[in-house]
Chains A and B, each alone.
Chain A
C-alpha cells in the first residue's frame, strides 16, 4: 500500500513509474491518473481506437500491483451479466432438500397459519449472499485491497446500462433489492472507462468521471513508445517509421493508423531486418498499418514520395 501511495504521489513519479512499465504517457495522461487516485474518481477515457486506452488500465494494474477486473461492454449487456445473478441451480437444489425436510421443520405446527409463520422464520435465505453469483462490478466492489476496474468500450453498451453504473461510480456501492446495499471495502476500486465515441455518453455519467481525451501522440512521444515497446529497432528506422505514420495521419484515410499499428509495423520491419525505410518494403507491408483496401490503394501511389520525404 505504501508503495502505491509513493508511486501516485506526484505526476512526475507516476510518469516515471509508467515508463518503467513500458507505457510512455503524456503529462495529460499522468495527471489524469494522479487525480483519479488522489480524488478517488473514475476516469472516462475517450479517443480513437488503438491509442492505448485499455493498455493504460492494464499497465496501471501492473504498476499498482492490483488485480484487474475487466468488464467488456456489448449491446444487450445487463445487470445479470455485469453486477450479479442468483444461483438458480443452488436455490433449486436447496428447495428440494427443504421439501424433504419440510415435515421436520414444521414440527408440530398446527394448521396452515402456524406453518406459514414457521416458514417465515427462515426468512429470505434463498436470496442471501450465499446464493449470489457476483459478476465483475460486484467483484470489484468486494475486493478487499482495492483493484483496477476496467469498463471497456462503454459506448457499445445500451443507454440504460449507463444508469446502472451511476451508483457504483459515484458512491462505490451497489444496491440489490433482495439484500440491500453493498459498499466497497476500505479501498474502493480505481475505475477506468473507455469509449471509442461511437455514440455520446450521457451527461450523468460524464459528470461522475474525470474526462481524459487521448489523441494520437506527437512525434516525440510516439518515438519513445516505439523505442520502449520494440527496443531492438535501429534508431534511424524508428525515426523514419514514426515520421511516415505521422504523414499518413495527415492524409484523408478511412482509418488512420494508431499506435498499436505503429508498433506492429515496427516489429514487422525488425523481423525483415530493415535498417531504414525503403519504398518497396513499405508497399509490401502497408497492410500492417492500413486496414482498408481502399486506403491501401490510395496510399500506394504516395509511398515513394512520403518515404523520400521522411528519409531526409
Chain B
C-alpha cells in the first residue's frame, strides 16, 4: 500500500510536469515496481523510463523528475526505517497533504540520511560554540507554547499531521512557481505557531535555571529540524502541484500575446506550441477526411472482377471519393514590421504537412520570390530564417508583389486554389494594383487576407486595406497564436 502510494504520487508529479500517463500505464508501472523493487534506484529508473514516458521529450522530463522526486524518497525511507514508531496509519492521513509530511519528530534519535546528519552535527557545534558549554542530559522544564509542546512530545506522526494541517490551511496546493517556495514554507511555520515558539526560545535563553536553558537549546534544535522538514514538504507539494517549469503559465500568456512582441528567447517555446497546435489540428482533420473515404458498392467493377469466380461474388469493390488535393498559395510580406508574423504563419503552415494540402509559399518585401523549394529542402526553422534574411530588405511594395505573383502563377490558380496573403497592406503610397487581386479573386476559390494590425489601424495612413479587402473573400485580423490557430482551422475545414 505504501509502495503504491509512492508510485502514484510520483506519477502525479510526472503528470504535473506534462508527461502524459494513462491509468493503464500506472498499473504497468506498479507491476514493474513490484518486479524490480525500490532498492536499486538505477534499475528502477531504467524500468520506469520504459513504462511511463513514451517520447524523447517525456524521457528527459522523466529523468529530471525521477531524480528530484526520489531524492526525498531517499531521505524519508531512511528516517522511516530508523524510527521506532513508524506509525503507518497516521502516515496515510498526513499523506493527504502529500508525502512530504512523512517524517518528523525526534531529531536526536532520527538521523535523516548522511548528508543531513552531517550538516546537523555542524549546526550543533556552532550552537555550542556560540552558547555556553553543553548543558548535558538532565532535567528539562516543560514547554509552554503549543508548538514547543508538540516538538517536545517527540511524535513524528503528530508533527507531520500538524504540518499537513497547516499546509491545508494556507492552501499550499495552490503553489504555482518556484519562487513561492520560501513564502509557503514560512506561512506553514507561522501557522504551526512559530512566533510563539520563537518568543519562548528567547525567553528561555535568558532564564537563570539550567533545566529551562536546556529546554531552550533543545527547542532551538528541534525548530531548525522542523524548518527543514517543512521545506521538504513544500518542495514535494511544489513537485506535485505546481507548474514546475513555469511553462504552463508562459504558454498561456504566449497564446494571446502579439507575435511581434514575442521575445527571442521564447521562440523555441512558441515553436513547440505551434507544433502542438498543428498536431491537434492534424488529428482533428485527418479524422474528418476519413469519413469522406467511405464509399458505396462499385457494382460494375465488382461484377467484372468476380467474373472469373463463375459469377459468385467474393471480392467487393467500393466506390471511394477521391479527394483532389486543393492548393494553397501563401504570400507573406516579410518586411521588417511584419516579419515575425510571417515567421509564425509559415511555421504553422509547414508544421501541418500531413493534412495540409500542398502549400506553395512566396515571400516579398519589394520583389516577390517563391520559397517553396527552400522549405522542402531544409528544416522549417532554417528555411524561415533564410527566407527572412534573404527577402526582408527593401521597402514594401504590394502592387509589385501582386504583379510578380500574377506573372509567375496565374496559370496555376484555379477554382480549387486558396490564396492567403499575410501583410499589413501598407504600400508606402505606391500603386496598389488592386485589379490584379481582383483577377486572382475571380479565378481562385478563396482569397484570405490576414492583417496583423488591429482593425482600428486599417485604412489609416498608407494602408490600402479597403481596396484589397474588397477583393478578398475573407479578411481577418491575425496577430497572435490564437488567431493563427483559428484561421488555419477554418482553412482546413474549407479546403478538405
Contact = CB atoms under 8 A, between A and B. Distances in A.
Interface in B299-317: 309-310, 312, 314-315
B310 A207 contact: no
Contact of B47 (A35, A44, A160, A206): A35
Interface stretch (A25-33, A109-117, A234-242): A25-33
B50 interface: yes
A206 B54 contact: yes
A88 B309 CA distance: 9
Interface stretch (B21-29, B201-209, B341-349, B407-415): B21-29
Interface string B41-59: 0110011011101101001
A84 interface: no
Contacts of B54: 44, 203, 206-207, 211
Contacts of A203: 20, 54
B32 interface: yes
A221 to B, nearest CB: 15
B59 A92 contact: no
A268 interface: no
A210 B51 contact: yes
- Counting chain B CB atoms within 10 Å of each CB, the highest count among A91, A211, A213 belongs to A211
Contacts of A27: 42, 46
A11 B43 contact: yes
A32 B46 CA distance: 8
Contacts of B28: 39, 41, 210
Contact of B312 (A11, A92, A159, A206): A92
Given A11-B43, A211-B54, A88 B314 contact: yes
B128 to A, nearest CB: 47
A212 B50 contact: yes
B31 interface: yes
Interface string B273-302: 000000100000010001000000000000
Contact of B50 (A11, A91, A208, A210): A210
Nearest to A88: B314
A208 B24 contact: yes
Nearest to B31: A39
A38 interface: yes
A35 B22 contact: no
Contact of A31 (B43, B309, B354): B43
Contacts of A212: 50
Interface string A4-34: 0000000100000000000000011001100
Contacts of A207: 22, 24-25, 54
B309 A92 contact: yes
Contacts of B126: none
A35 B28 CA distance: 10
Interface in B242-282: 279
A35 B50 contact: yes
Given A39-B32, A210-B50, A95 B312 contact: yes
Interface in A93-113: 95-96
A41 to B, nearest CB: 7
A159 B20 CA distance: 21
A167 to B, nearest CB: 14
- Counting chain B CB atoms within 10 Å of each CB, the highest count among A44, A159, A160 belongs to A159
Contacts of B121: none
Contacts of A44: 54
A212 B43 CA distance: 14
Given A41-B28, A210-B50, 10 more contacts: A28-B50, A32-B50, A38-B35, A39-B35, A92-B312, A92-B314, A96-B310, A160-B290, A203-B20, A211-B50
Interface of A: 11, 27-28, 31-32, 35, 38-39, 41, 43-44, 86, 88, 91-92, 95-96, 159-160, 199-200, 203, 206-208, 210-213
12 contacts: A11-B43, A35-B47, A39-B35, A43-B50, A95-B312, A203-B20, A207-B22, A210-B50, A210-B51, A211-B50, A211-B51, A213-B56
Nearest 7 CB-CB pairings of A with B = A206-B54, A210-B50, A211-B54, A31-B46, A88-B314, A207-B22, A32-B50
